[in-house]
Amino acid sequence: MINLETPRKHRALVDQAHQVAMNMLRPISRKYDRAEHEYPKELDMLAAMIDGLSESGASEGAGAAGVRRDEGEPDRGPSRNGANLASVLSVAEMCWGDVGLLLSMPRQGLGNSAIASVASDEQLERLRGTWAAMAITEPGIGSDSANITTTARKDGDEYVLNGEKIFVTSGERADSVVVWATLDRSLGRAAIKSFVVTKGTPGMRVERLEHKLGIRASDTAVIIFEDCRVPAENLLGTPDVDVKQGFAGAMATFDNTRPLVAAMAIGCARAALDLTRELLADAGVVVDYDRPAQTQSAAAATFLRLESDWEGARLLTLQAAWMADNREPNSLEASMAKAKAGRVGSDVTLSCVELAGAVGYSEGELLEKWARDSKILDIFEGTQQIQQLIVARRLLGLSSAQLQ
Tell me if residue 381 is catalytic.
Answer: yes
Between the two ends of the chain, the Cα-to-Cα distance in Å is 39
CB neighbourhood size of 255 (10 A): 23
Contact 264, 95 (CB under 8 A): yes
Say how far apart CA 280 and CA 13 lie, in whole Å: 31
Residue 388: how many other CB atoms lie within 10 Å: 15
Residue 171 burial (CB count, 10 A): 27
Nearest of 321, 348, 336, 345 to residue 390 by alpha carbon: 336
60, 93, 164, 381: the active-site residue: 381
Q: Which residues are catalytic?
A: 381
